[in-house]
A and B are shown apart, each in its own frame.
Chain A
Amino acid sequence: MIEPTTLTEQSAAEAAQALKGLSAAVNEVLFGQETLIETVILALLSGGHLLLEGLPGLGKTELVRTFSRTLDLDTKRVQFTPDLLPGDITGNPMLQEKDGQRTFVFQEGPVFTNLMLADEINRASPKTQSALLEAMQERRVTVMGITHDLPYPFFVFATQNPIELEGTYPLPEAQLDRFLFKLTVLSATRETLEKIISARILGQEPVVRKSMTGEQLLRISQMTSKVYLPDVVKSYIARLVHGTYPNPDTAAKVIKFGASPRAAIGLASAARARALLEGRVHASVDDVRAAAPYVLGHRIIVNYQDRMEGVTPESFVAKLLTEINPEEAELPKTLAAAKIQ
């Protein structure tokens, strides 16, 4: 177990420097995904799980593999298919004969790793998806009444394809809520594609520079929890999450179900992580605003009618951020609002 590290402005600056190195190392392999990489780092610092959504071939799997290699973490990949069984993930008790006696020996599944890549998670049956619930929330699995702790750290990076929906099982809300972020991987720009063509050769694995050890990541992750959250930031997070609750008088009139308290906790953790990423020892409302779309987007359900009219969770969160200001007290019309930089 790594000893807790005290957080000072100097240590925060050192952590920020190290995280910048991590980001740079990943950026050497993945081009044009700076924001995505930064958000993944935030998830790693917060100890949250990640759901990546995007078309095939956009580098989702590559992103996870690159992180695992640059952090020198143990990584296992599971390709989710409809016939995948829960035991295929958690592990199965195997009957073994030793010294003339037959006993069940637990054979760990792919979940026993630091970074698990659940590829196309929505193709597995709900039963198999649910096998991940305990692992993701409590970081342990129970097989045949015996609980097995997962290694520390443990992250689930899941991917899903938004277009090939035939034969898929959409993730239930309970499982979606356990993902800290849901990130959409966008197509590369022309300049990015040119870079990729120049740097990559088909069939050759890119060389990934190790920038940080898992131990260092854990230390920095512990520092994240010590980042100070001012009252105004707490208040802002609470108002944002509360603003997702259905309300006919606000932007939340399009909402069927709002974000859970777990979303508020995740948003606070993400804000802390972002503050540390910038070398600060205190979070700000800007950190909250930056993380809110990734934290809240997949946790709210829009009404069917409004969904048909084109309202998406992402558009709702954007509207929510304009409706709810960090300054709770509004200004008179004789004054222009304070400029937010």
Chain B
Amino acid sequence: MPSAIDTERIWKRNARRTAWAANCFWWLQRFLPFFLGLNLASAVAVIYARQQEWPQDRIVAIYAAVLVVLALIALGLAWRRFLSQRDGMLRLEQHLGLKSALSAASEGAIAWPPLPEQLSVPYQFRWGNITTPIAVSATLLLIGCLIPVETVRADVVIDNPKQPMAWEELEAWVEELTEDEVVEETALKELEKKLDELRQQPTETWFTQSSLEAGDSLRDQTQQDLQKLAQDMMKTSALLDAMRQAGDEPFSQEAMALEGALQKALEGMQLGTTPLSSEMMEQLKKMGNSQSCQNIDLSKYKLVKGTLDENAQKLCKLAKLNPDALEDMILMACQMPGNGGIDRGPGAAPLTASPFESRVTPASVEGVSNEDMRNAALGQTLAIQDRAPDENEAGEAFIIKTSQGSDSLGQGGDVVWKNQLSPEERKLLENYFQ
């Protein structure tokens, strides 16, 4: 038999336990809706996090923090309804049918009643109200964790994300050009910088229309520049050959023309957006005139020329330059006059009169020119004349007869040069020379 003190202690302990159990369930009742909502949101968040490949420990930490906050909020809401020890004692005595004996005993009115054989918490737990939200929450979380999800960005993609084709080509060009040292280093860095600017965009926007267009534009522009450089290099190579073969007449018109063309080509290679490497440019500049070209050591000339050709070939291959166009380029460089075109430049027509002796060989092409038109025959100058179109006669002058005989109007504002005379001009000139 427990003593009176023990009996009191046991009764009070059970009263506290009764109140504590009720308070726990109060808290649970407040917390479970939050818990259910949290897990519903967490399931969605877990799916999203798995798609984004977020670190799991961070997700768990955020979940735990939110859980603690919600638990505290639920505690605050349930606090006002918490049962005191006195309430617990009242519940206990009602449950045991003690007819307020515990309340009277706690107030010192009577002795504590004897303890029953079995003391149980006076509640019937409604487990369904508790387990259902927990089970639903667990199911939601499991669904969030186990449902198959396609990751948006894999680890490999994060380290080296797949990039548009144009960028890859540009990257390959930069790498190869840097290795070959064909193009000036600063130009390559500038190109890399532009490429990096494109890469700094959010990964999601890499394949948008605007990004792809920007990449393609940069690639096309670079390709054109490289093609131009390759053309200039091939032209330079051809001009060097021509100058080497021009002989000992550095001041001949042909040599002068070749030299001018070479200077122009060198200038083009130097001023482009992808200029030739400064080292190569220095070597080429040393051979930039006929005299120096003739005087340079053959082995050194061959070395420079070989390097230039080799680099030009590489560049042509890199820039996807058409080989046919390359041959035409070489031919055009060697046969400067008579090729037509607005950029053919000055040069002697083949077999024209010249104050200097020419070395006409079967293998060479001689340009003949006569710039003094004062003594030229009428038919020599009458056939070719450049002039700006007269605006007054634009309506008729721009009517071009096509081979099919149909008329086509010129485009307004286009400035064209016509290589034929109008009937009025021709009549005027004939009258003048008569």
Contact = CB atoms under 8 A, between A and B. Distances in A.
Given A332-B25, A332-B29, A232 B90 contact: yes
A230 B28 contact: no
Nearest to A230: B103
B94 A231 contact: no
A41 B130 CA distance: 49
Contacts of B25: 331-332, 334-335
A329 B26 CA distance: 11
Contact of A340 (B29, B83, B87, B94): B94
Given A332-B26, A332-B28, A336-B124, A230 B104 contact: yes
B79 interface: no
Interface string A264-293: 000000000001001011111111000000
Contact of B81 (A278, A280, A329): A329
Contacts of A331: 22, 25, 123
A322 to B, nearest CB: 15
Given A336-B123, A339-B122, A232 B97 contact: no
Given A233-B103, A334-B130, A327 B29 contact: no
Contacts of A339: 94-95, 122, 124
Given A230-B109, A334-B130, A335-B126, A327 B91 contact: yes
Contacts of B99: 275, 278, 280, 282, 284, 286-287
Contacts of B22: 329, 331-332, 335
A232 B93 CA distance: 11
Q: How many interface residues does chain A have, given as a range?
A: 20 to 34
B100 A284 contact: yes
Contacts of A230: 100, 103-104, 107, 109
A228 B25 CA distance: 34
A334 B28 contact: yes
Dominant SS at the B interface? helix
Contacts of B100: 230, 232-233, 282-286
Dominant SS at the A interface? loop
A287 B110 CA distance: 17
B103 A231 contact: yes
Contacts of B29: 332-334
B207 interface: no
B86 interface: yes
Interface string B289-319: 0000000000000000000000000000000
Interface string B96-108: 1101110110010
B78 to A, nearest CB: 8
A166 interface: no
A97 interface: no
Interface in B18-66: 21-22, 25-26, 28-29
Interface of B: 21-22, 25-26, 28-29, 81, 83-84, 86-87, 90-92, 94-97, 99-101, 103-104, 107, 109-110, 122-126, 129-130
26 contacts: A9-B110, A228-B104, A230-B100, A231-B103, A280-B99, A282-B101, A282-B109, A282-B110, A326-B90, A326-B94, A327-B90, A330-B81, A331-B25, A331-B123, A332-B28, A333-B29, A334-B28, A334-B29, A334-B125, A335-B22, A335-B123, A336-B123, A338-B94, A338-B95, A338-B122, A339-B122
Interface of A: 9, 228, 230-233, 275, 278, 280-287, 326-336, 338-341
